[in-house]
Amino acid sequence: MEEEFNTGRSRGSSKRTLQITPLDEEDQEEVQIDDSGDVDSYDDDDDEEEEDEDKEPVGLGVLEKPENSWSLLRELFPSKAGGTPAWLDPINLPTGRSCLCDICGEPLQFMLQVYAPLMEKDSTFHRTVFLFMCTSMTCLLKDQHEQWKRNQDKQSRSVKVFRCQLPRDNSFYSSEPPRNNGKDKPSSPGAVLCGWCGTWKGDKVCGGCRRVYYCSEKHQTFHWKSGHKQRCLPSSISQDASEPSNNKTLREGQEASKSFWPEYDIAITDECEDKVPDDNGQVNSLISSSRVDESIEALIDSFEGGDDKKSWANFQERISRTPEQVLRYYRDAGAKPLWPTSSGQPSKADIPKCTYCGSRRAFEFQVLPQILYYFGVENDVHSLDWATIAVYTCESSCDGHVAYKEEFAWVQIASQSSTTQR
């Protein structure tokens, strides 16, 4: 039965396995993913040949429109991008400054989540990594200086990562695999969410109707100006005040603001090492290959030096095999990102250890800028943009009383010449 639910992966071994496809398919095989994008070479040719034979393909995340309205609900343990997060632990959400951009103070916007269970621990039977970021490019540029600080407590970040994990037997979900037929239900409701963003916990209530909750005063102001002012009538106060604060209409599925990015399912496919780019093979792509190529080539002008251009050429060649990919998932221990540029790469000392258990953080996946086209972000000088975002998580995937443990993201933008000062 467990194989039908998830195959998970093992971080303690040389291979780490991942299954992000539907969990109820009995014939689903394990997908072992590693870093075939490592640019480091071996001195011994025999060792390199032996290593190549042992490698498995990198998992490529491509975006697809969800098949059904219920396909990305939290009880189905989805990997998804855009929209609002499908919180794994629906009660004990991140709060306080964890939800905010440390630079401008705005609530962070949900980008994506990856469902990646570990099979060697009972406590990681369910495991999801969430990525949030500020939509301001000004904040991202300032973030570049902050990520070089070796003391993580002193970093002010505009990109944040959270890891959440649960055992198979928990109070939120059935221990049986989802049926994926639209009839799956969580075992318990979630926290009341912000009435504007639908993302963060609503811990502030509207003083008028006392029915809508918000994560911040700023989102309350946005909601008020967008129309809640007309709906928040004095005549409704007595009626709404009697309703329980955990009213189902204010939970996940509520009508949130239209400012978040469009929602997609993340489907994982294997990278083919020998695949040749084919402009005629993009029939099922949500965006044309020419548009992807334009977005990639637009960054080259900002590079300085031959090393950056050489790295970018290698990066572009790998990406062009599947130009619609937005995520690269690696499961080998010791995996490294496929870096677009030679400058701005972190050393081991630049990746902080886990703040909860002190273990080393290991690279897990990277996010590519192609995702911004799916999100409808304009391609101009002031728009949000990056070369890659590399996500590092606790190698031990430690437990503890904190439901959502903050992990680490390293952002590489197109030009590092002015941002790699330590």
> Is 342 or 57 the better-scoring residue by pLDDT?
342
Q: Any idea of the CA torsion for 29, 405, 337, 418, to the nearest 10 degrees? A: 160
Q: Report the Cα–Cα distance between both ends of the chain, in Å, rounded.
A: 51
pLDDT reading at 53 higher than 60? no
Q: How far apart are CA 309 and CA 173, in angstroms?
A: 49
> Is 277 or 260 the better-scoring residue by pLDDT?
260
Give the pLDDT score at 303.
54
Distance (Å) of CA 220 to CA 177, 206, 210: 38, 8, 12
The pLDDT tens digits of the residues spanning 190-229 come to: 999 999 999 999 988 998 888 899 998 889 888 888 888 8
219: phi then psi, degrees, rounded to nearest 5: -70, -30
- The maximal CA–CA distance of the chain, rounded, in angstroms, is 80
The residues near 294 (Cβ < 8 Å, ≥ 6 apart) are 379
Q: Facing residues of 86 across strands? A: none
Judged on CB neighbours under 10 Å (0-12, 13-18, 19+), 40 is exposed
What is the percent of the chain where pLDDT is above 90?
Answer: 52
Q: How far apart are CA 117 and CA 20, in angstroms?
A: 9
For the segment 322-351, the average pLDDT, to the nearest whole number, is: 91
Give the pLDDT score at 9.
55
Determine if residue 406 is left, alpha or beta; phi over 0 gives left, psi from -120 to 50 gives alpha, anything else beta. Answer: beta
pLDDT reading at 252 higher than 50? no
Give the pLDDT score at 21.
41
Strands 213-214 and 264-270: unpaired
Residue in the structure block whose two tokens are 């979630």: 190
Q: How far apart are CA 196 and CA 222, in angstroms?
A: 7
The pLDDT tens digits of the residues spanning 10-44 come to: 554 443 445 444 444 444 444 444 444 444 433 34
Q: How far apart are CA 356 and CA 164, in angstroms?
A: 13
